[in-house]
C-alpha cells in the first residue's frame, strides 16, 4: 500500500476478497442496468416529443391518451432508473465504502500499534525521512474520503464502458446516410455523433486536467493546514490547566489566529479555482447537451433521412453518451481530492514501512548501533559500552556507561543534574532512544514495565486500565480489586467495570497522584521482573512516595528496580530501612554505579529526605550538635 495503485487494489486481494468482489460485481450489474435504462429513457423521450409534435395531426385519433401514455412510461423509466437501479447501486456502493474503509483502518491501526512501537518511531522522522504530519487526520479523514472518492470514480468508469456499449450499439442501429458522406453508407450519422463526442470531450478534458492539478495541490495544502489547526486545538485542550495557570490565553489565541490565517488563504484560493471550474463545467454541459448532441443528427434530419422522433431519440442518446464520457470532467474536483487523500495515506504507509527496522532507519541520519540480547536471569540486566548521542554522524556522546550490571532483586537509584541523560538512559535500555551504540542484555524470560511521570489514560474501563498492557480477561475481578486496594485506590473498586464516572473519563476523574497509584496497581497485578520508574512518583507527597515504594517492595519481592527521582537521597521505609541498594550517578557525561552504603546515620538521612518547614528549622550547626558524639564522629 505504498503506491497509489497498490493502495487501490489491496482490499480486493486481501483475506476479504470474496466480500470485496461480490459487492463490486453487484455495483457493476446495476451500473449496466442503469446505462441500459438510459437508452430506454432516450427512446421514451423521443416518443413523448413525437406525441407532442403530432398532437393535432388528423391521423392521430387518440392524441391525449398517446401523450399521457408516453409521459407515464417516461416517468416509470425515471423511477426504475433513478430510484431502482441507481438507488440500489448507491446503497451497495455505500456498503463497499464502509467495508473498505474499515479494512484499511484496521490495517493502519495494526501497523501503527505493533510491537515495534511503529507509532512512536513514525513520529520521530529525520532529515532523511520526515515524520508524517497529523497522523490522526490521515487515518480518519483521508482514508474515508479516499475510499469514497475511488468508488465513485470506479462507478463512473463502469458507466462509460456500459454506455459506450448500449448507446453506441443503438446509435449504429438507428444510423442513417448523410449527404456528402455517402461513402459511409448508413453509418454516416453514427460516425458524425462519435466524431463530435471524440473531439468535444477530450478537448475539454485536457482543460479539466490542468485545473484539476491546481485543485489537487490546493487540496493537499488545505488538508495540511486543517490538520495542523486541529492538532493544535487538541493539544491546547489537553494542556488547558497549564495555559490557565500561566495566563497564557493571549499567546494561545495568537497561535490559533496564525494557524487559521493559513487555512483562510488556502481556502480563498481554493474557492477561486472551484468557482472557475464550476463555471467551466456548466458552460461545457450546456454546449454539450444543446449543441453538440443535436448537431450530428441535424444534417440527416434536414435532408429528411430522420423523422422528428428519430432525430430527438438520436440526439438524446448522443447527449447521454457525452454525459457518460464526461465523467472525468464532472468528477475532476473529486479526482483532485482523491489524489490528495491517497498521497496523504501513501505517505503514512511509506513512513510505517521505513521504520519497521528502527536502527536501520535512524542510521541514515546518525549512529544507531544498539544490540539487545538475552542471558540467564541469574545474571540480571547488563549494559556494556553504552554511548548515547543526538542526531548526526559526528555527534559527540552526551552519556557513556562502560559496564553496568543490575542484579535480580536489586533497587538502583539514578542520580544526576537535570538534562544529564537519566531519562535517555532508561529510554535506550527500552529501545526508545534513536542514536548511540552499546549492548543491553536482558534477563531471559523476565517481563519489564516502564512507568513514566506523566500518566495518560485511555477511555476504557478501570479494570482494563489496571490490566494494561494485558487484557482485562487475563485477570479476575478479585485480583484487580486486590491490586487497587494495595495501591491505595480501594474506594474505586466498585467502579471497576465503568469506562467513566459522572460523565467524565478516568483520565479526567483521577488526580495526578491517583494516576500514579494506578501505576502501582498495575505493577502489583503484573508482577514484572524489571521495573523502570521515570519520575513515577513526582505527583505524590513524601508519605505517598513511601507508600508507593512499600507496595512494590511487599508485593514484588524479586523485582529489579531502576528509578529516577528528584530527591537528593532515595526514600526509606517508615521503619528507616533502605528501599534502594545502589546508585548510578551521572556526572560529566559518565554513568558510574556504586553501592548505597550507610554513610550517614538514619536520623540525618531522614532529615535530608524530609526537611521540616522553613519556620521550624534551626541553624545547621545547632541541629548538628544535638547528635551524640559518636554520630558526629562518623
pLDDT tens figures, 57-101: 888 888 888 889 988 988 898 888 888 888 888 899 889 989 988
Predicted confidence (pLDDT) per residue in 367-392, tens digit: 999 999 999 988 899 999 999 999 88
Q: 308, 434, 382: which is closest to 560 by C-alpha?
A: 382
pLDDT at 598: 54
Note the pLDDT of residue 127: 55
- Exposure of 312 in the CB half-sphere (CA atoms within 13 A): 16
Q: Look up cell 502501582; give the residue.
A: 520
Alpha helix stretches (DSSP H) within 12-117: 17-53, 63-78, 86-112
* DSSP for 431-473, written as a single string: T---SEEEEEEEETT--EEEEESS----SS-HHHHHHTTS-GG
Alpha carbons 354 and 241: distance in angstroms, whole number = 37
Q: Provide mean pLDDT across the span 14-36.
A: 91
Assign 410 to helix, strand or coil: coil
Residue found under cell 460516425: 191
For residue 613, what pLDDT is reported? 45
Mean predicted lDDT score pLDDT of the chain: 83
Per-residue pLDDT at 455 exceeds 50: yes
Which residue in 276, 304, 576, 564 sits closest to 413, CA to CA?
Answer: 564
User: Cα separation of 154 and 157, whole Å?
Assistant: 5
How far apart, in whole angstroms, are the C-alpha atoms of residue 138 and residue 132? 9
Alpha helices in 79-142 (DSSP H): 86-112, 118-121, 135-137
Q: What are phi and psi of 55, to 5 degrees?
A: -60, -40
pTM greater than the 0.85 cutoff: no
Amino acid at each position: 500500500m505504498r503506491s497509489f495503485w497498490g493502495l487501490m487494489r489491496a482490499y480486493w486481494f486481501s483475506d476479504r476478497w470474496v466480500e470485496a468482489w461480490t459487492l463490486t460485481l453487484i455495483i457493476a450489474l446495476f451500473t449496466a442496468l442503469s446505462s441500459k435504462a438510459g437508452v430506454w429513457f432516450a427512446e421514451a423521450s423521443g416518443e413523448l416529443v413525437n406525441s407532442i409534435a403530432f398532437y393535432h395531426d388528423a391521423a392521430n385519433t387518440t392524441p391525449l391518451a398517446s401523450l399521457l401514455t408516453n409521459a407515464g412510461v417516461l416517468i416509470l423509466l425515471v423511477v426504475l432508473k433513478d430510484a431502482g437501479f441507481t438507488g440500489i447501486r448507491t446503497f451497495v456502493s455505500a456498503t463497499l465504502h464502509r467495508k473498505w474503509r474499515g479494512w484499511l483502518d484496521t490495517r493502519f491501526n495494526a501497523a501503527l500499534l505493533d510491537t515495534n512501537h511503529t507509532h512512536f518511531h513514525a513520529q520521530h522522522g529525520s532529515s532523511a525521512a520526515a515524520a508524517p504530519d497529523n497522523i490522526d487526520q490521515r487515518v480518519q479523514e483521508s482514508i474515508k474520503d479516499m475510499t469514497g472518492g475511488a468508488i465513485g470514480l470506479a462507478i463512473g468508469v463502469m458507466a462509460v464502458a456500459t454506455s459506450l456499449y448500449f448507446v453506441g450499439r443503438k446509435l449504429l442501429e438507428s444510423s442513417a446516410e448523410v449527404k456528402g458522406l455517402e461513402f459511409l453508407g448508413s453509418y454516416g450519422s453514427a460516425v458524425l455523433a462519435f466524431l463530435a463526442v471524440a473531439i468535444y470531450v477530450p478537448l475539454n478534458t485536457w482543460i479539466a486536467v490542468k485545473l484539476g492539478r491546481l485543485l489537487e495541490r490546493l487540496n493537499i495544502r488545505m488538508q495540511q493546514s486543517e490538520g495542523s489547526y486541529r492538532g493544535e486545538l487538541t493539544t491546547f485542550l489537553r494542556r488547558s490547566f497549564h495555559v490557565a495557570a500561566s495566563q497564557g490565553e493571549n499567546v494561545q489565541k495568537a497561535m490559533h489566529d496564525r494557524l487559521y490565517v493559513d487555512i483562510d488563504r488556502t481556502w480563498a484560493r481554493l474557492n477561486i479555482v472551484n468557482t472557475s471550474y464550476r463555471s467551466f463545467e456548466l458552460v461545457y454541459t450546456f454546449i454539450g447537451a444543446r449543441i453538440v448532441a443535436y448537431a450530428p443528427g441535424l444534417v440527416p434530419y434536414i435532408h429528411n433521412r430522420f423523422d422528428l422522433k428519430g432525430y430527438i431519440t438520436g440526439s438524446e442518446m448522443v447527449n447521454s453518451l457525452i454525459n457518460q464520457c464526461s465523467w472525468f470532467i464532472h468528477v475532476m474536483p473529486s479526482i483532485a481530492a482523491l489524489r490528495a487523500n491517497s498521497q496523504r495515506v501513501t505517505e503514512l504507509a511509506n513512513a510505517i514501512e521505513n521504520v519497521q527496522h528502527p536502527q536501520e532507519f535512524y542510521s541514515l541520519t546518525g549512529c544507531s548501533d544498539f544490540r539487545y540480547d538475552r542471558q540467564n536471569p541469574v545474571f540480571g540486566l547488563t549494559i556494556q559500552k553504552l554511548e548515547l548521542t543526538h542526531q548526526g554522524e559526528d555527534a559527540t556522546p552526551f552519556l557513556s556507561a562502560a559496564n553496568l550490571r543490575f542484579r535480580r532483586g536489586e533497587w538502583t537509584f539514578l542520580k544526576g543534574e537535570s538534562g544529564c541523560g537519566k531519562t535517555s538512559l532508561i529510554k535506550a535500555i527500552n529501545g526508545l532512544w534513536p542514536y548511540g551504540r552499546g549492548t543491553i542484555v536482558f534477563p531471559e524470560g523476565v517481563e519489564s514495565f516502564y512507568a513514566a511521570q506523566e500518566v495518560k489514560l485511555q477511555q476504557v474501563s478501570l479494570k482494563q486500565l489496571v490490566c494494561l498492557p494485558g487484557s482485562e480477561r487475563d485477570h479476575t475481578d478479585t485480583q484487580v480489586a486486590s491490586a487497587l486496594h494495595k495501591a491505595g485506590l480501594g474506594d474505586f473498586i466498585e467502579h471497576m467495570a465503568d469506562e467513566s464516572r459522572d460523565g467524565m473519563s478516568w483520565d479526567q476523574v483521577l488526580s495526578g497522584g491517583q494516576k500514579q497509584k494506578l501505576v502501582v496497581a498495575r505493577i502489583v497485578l503484573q508482577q514484572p521482573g524489571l521495573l523502570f520508574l521515570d519520575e513515577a512518583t513526582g505527583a505524590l507527597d513524601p508519605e505517598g512516595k513511601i507508600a508507593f515504594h512499600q507496595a512494590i517492595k511487599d508485593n514484588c519481592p524479586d523485582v529489579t528496580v531502576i528509578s529516577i527521582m528528584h530527591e537528593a537521597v532515595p526514600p526509606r521505609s517508615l521503619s528507616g530501612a533502605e528501599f534502594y541498594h545502589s546508585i548510578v550517578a551521572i556526572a560529566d557525561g559518565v554513568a558510574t554505579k556504586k553501592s548505597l552504603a550507610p554513610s550517614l546515620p538514619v536520623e540525618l538521612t531522614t532529615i535530608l529526605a524530609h526537611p521540616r518547614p522553613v519556620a521550624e528549622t534551626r541553624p545547621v550547626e545547632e541541629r548538628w550538635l544535638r547528635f551524640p558524639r559518636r554520630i558526629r564522629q562518623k
